[in-house]
Amino acid sequence: MSIDEYRRKYAYGEDYGTSYYKYGPIAEKPYVIENRGLFLRGESKLVLKIFGISREIVVGPDVVKYLGSLEDIARYLIYPMKDGIVDRDDKMSWRILYELTKYGFEQTLPETRDFEGFYVTAALSAISPDYMYERIFDIHTRIDSELGAIKAITIIPQPLAVAISEKVVTCVVVESGHGNTQVTPISMYPIRNAIVALNRGGAEADAIASEILRDLGHEDRAREEKFVRMFKESVGLIPRDIDEAIKKAKGDPRRFRTIFRIPGTRIEIDMGEKSWMRFLIGEIVFNPEHELFESYYKRGMPRPRDTIVGGERISGTLPLGEAIEAAVSRTSIELQPSLFRKIILSGGNFAWRVPRGLEDVAVNSAEKIRIQLEQHEIEANVELVSDPIFSVWKGTIVYSLAVPDNYLWDWKKREGWYKRGVHF
Ligand SMILES: Nc1ncnc2c1ncn2[C@@H]1O[C@H](COP(=O)(O)OP(=O)(O)OP(=O)(O)O)[C@@H](O)[C@H]1O
Ligand SMILES: [Mg+2]
């Protein structure tokens, strides 16, 4: 088998998202686990042992098993990434990323005789500092020494992975996950000083969904993260025009009445007269500046934090269309028209559906952005990738296949393989 054939057989991809870690060898779809870890601290090691807990940290689906049970054990559930970033000195969080990464390799390690380690591409936020690259290399070096699982690793920015999986060279990738939204103009490679990163994502839609549950009289559910998430994904809608959608919904409560049910349970939430509120959940993703949200911020819902981009302050509530304009305006005049010609949306926070019969008031993410840009007299082509949650991971696999074996890691370009036998 030639080295290229080998690389094709053992390509592996990783997408470190704020809420989900997507990983796995070349396939149709990645494995997905929540990006979190549970630290268990027993009064005595014996108690842990009796319950068959051999590790101090649990990751993956087992976390749920230990969340509520066993009273004598102190538990710390930690989500290691904030807006795609882990602090340099945050030891617990780095430990969890190590455990998650190792979990993936343990689960997928081939038993084939020819296996000498994967060619791994990891995807990180486009604004990741160098130390995150170093730590991800260190984690893989350590796992390779333990499992022999990694022959070479490289790291790419998440938006570039999307562009690669869509096979486009010049475009704007808007990646919106749970914790952050990155607007990245790309021309072969991300144009770093044009990136606009916003501290907001699906989490903000969760926050308003939780307030709405409170308004509906379900205070207890409003505090249950998982429940809020399901409610949000099920009832949330992106309005074509928020004021008009609300007017229509209030004027025709029978048509718009929304009942949320969880299959397999008796839980049922009837939004009744307040069904119009479902439009708030989608709108906040695109325009958290709308005056409708002011009262929610006043009563304590967190306002998305501002970010500093190239020395300039970007408001955390900047409408998405304007964030795209801001990013494109930082590129050369010649490039701008071709960037607006190809705007690609990816990430779970863009996966909103339009229920049948509501097409007059609800739209998908691509249409919403197109409308926002049109209001600023910009004609743009906007499209949503076919698999918003997995497109970063798909791009990492394509990249693992494409980078030649003898191309070594270069810190200046941030390209190439970081290799066993050369770097570790
Ligand atoms: N059908 C849906 N409608 C609305 N939101 C959805 C849908 N499916 C997933 N989401 C939301 O998408 C978010 C997760 O998306 P994704 O997996 O892209 O994030 P991530 O990669 O973990 O985070 P990040 O990229 O910010 O680091 C969650 O907020 C989730 O509720
Ligand atoms: Mg992501």
Print pLDDT tens along the chain (424 aa). 898 899 999 999 999 999 999 999 999 999 999 999 998 876 566 666 766 666 788 899 988 877 766 565 667 889 999 888 899 999 999 999 999 999 999 999 999 999 999 999 999 998 899 999 999 999 999 999 999 999 999 999 999 999 999 999 999 999 999 988 999 999 998 998 899 999 899 999 999 999 999 999 999 999 988 899 999 999 999 999 999 999 999 999 999 999 999 888 888 999 999 999 999 999 999 999 999 999 999 999 999 999 887 788 999 999 999 999 999 999 999 999 999 999 999 999 999 999 999 999 999 999 999 999 999 999 999 999 999 999 999 999 999 999 999 999 999 999 999 999 999 9
Measured CA to CA in angstroms, residue 414 lies from 130, 134, 183, 224, 272 at distances of 9, 11, 19, 40, 53
Task: Please work out whether the CB of residue 22 comes within 6 Å of at least one atom of ligand 1.
Answer: no
Cα 321 to middle of ligand 2, angstroms: 20
- Taking the C-alpha atoms of residue 320 and residue 229, their distance in angstroms, rounded to an integer, is 22
Helix axes 278-286, 202-215, angle to 10 degrees: 150
The pLDDT of residue 43 is 59
Pocket-testing residue among 181, 204, 232, 233, ligand 1, by greatest number of atoms within 8 A of Cβ:
233
Task: Please work out whether the CB of residue 349 comes within 6 Å of at least one atom of ligand 1.
Answer: yes
The pLDDT of residue 69 is 61
Task: Please work out whether the CB of residue 17 comes within 6 Å of at least one atom of ligand 1.
Answer: yes
- Taking the C-alpha atoms of residue 179 and residue 127, their distance in angstroms, rounded to an integer, is 13
Q: Are 331 and 339 in contact (CB under 8 A)?
A: yes
Walk me through the domains of the chain, giving residue ranges and CATH numbers.
3-36+79-158+389-419 (3.30.420.40), 194-384 (3.30.420.570)
User: Which ligand has an atom closest to residue 177 CA?
Assistant: 1
Task: Please work out whether the CB of residue 30 comes within 6 Å of at least one atom of ligand 1.
Answer: no
Question: What does pLDDT average to over the chain?
Answer: 93
Helix or strand run (H / E) with residue 218: none
Cα 201 to middle of ligand 2, angstroms: 10
The pLDDT of residue 45 is 66
Beta bridge partners of 73: 42
Q: Are 124 and 379 in contact (CB under 8 A)?
A: no
Task: Please work out whether the CB of residue 177 comes within 6 Å of at least one atom of ligand 1.
Answer: yes
| Burial class, 70, CB count within 10 angstroms (exposed 0-12 / middle 13-18 / buried 19+) | middle
364 three-class SS: coil
Beta bridge partners of 222: none
